[in-house]
Amino acid sequence: MPAIALTEPDAGSDAAAISTKASETDGGWLISGEKSSITFAGFADAAIVLVRTGGPGAAGISAFWVPLDTDGVTRSVYAGVGGEIIARGSIVFDDVFVPADHLLGEVDAGFAQAMTAFDFNRAVIALSCIGAAFESLDETVDYANTRHTFGKPLSSRQAITQQVAEHYAKLHAARSVAYDTLTLADQSAKHTTEAAMSKWMGPAWSADAIHTALRLHGWSGYGSDLHFDQRLRDVIGLEIGDGTAEIMKAIIARDLFGVPTHR
């Protein structure tokens, strides 16, 4: 399984500020630098590594395919609040040699390739969060129909049912935007703004829905024998990965107002 290695300790939302470098050498390139908060860092076989091959900014970034068993590669897995299955961590490259044919695309053209992939992935991330949230709400509906307080089921109380109904509506809307994004991607049409909408709404609204489901289950929802805690922690993590809500709103605003902003 491959990883995508873009983020660095000093370059997260400002992805074009990466400093990991690749220098030409006989028969290939030498890569040096550190990538941080990389999904699958702990067990990926290889990584698509974004590095600086030219000047500052997005125009000087290239992409390389790097097998992670290559000499000079070291990696570690972070301890975190959630997302244990993705083995998020760091990958350090110490003069790692990659052959010339491991360059992906053209020299200094890797950033545009990465952003295209991110636009697609943002919709996929949104859908994964929305799926966890819908499951949580479905479980809450079942619970509210069977749990009785003061002689009546919870589902007879509007204070309960309207919360669930609101989250269902918002999740349905967020899912529709994600589907629109993927439809545009299949048509090779521009979908950056739609992807940003998906990445903002999907994780944020899903986290709210799961939190509500946990709370409506009372103390049983707070226990680890149910799955709300794991879902909530994982979805909160996905509010960060591939672009925070603040960056997504900046992308949407850039499209609406035609004002250049950093991604």
pLDDT score of 262 more than 60:
no
C-alpha neighbours within 13 Å on the C-beta side of residue 103: 19
**Percentage of residues in the chain with pLDDT exceeding 90?**
86
Of 82-86, 157-161, 197-201, the range with the lowest mean pLDDT is 82-86
What pairs with residue 73 in β-bridges? Answer: 93
Give the C-alpha separation, 207 to 228, whole Å: 10
Give 260's pLDDT tier (boundaries 50, 70, 90). Answer: low
Specify whether the CB–CB gap between 153 and 146 falls below 8 A.
yes
pLDDT score of 261 more than 80:
no
E strand or H helix that includes residue 115: helix 110-146
Q: What is the DSSP letter of 117?
A: H
- Amino acid identity for residue 10 in this structure: D
pLDDT digits (tens, 9 = 90+) for 13-72: 888 899 999 999 999 999 999 999 999 999 999 999 999 999 888 899 999 999 999 999
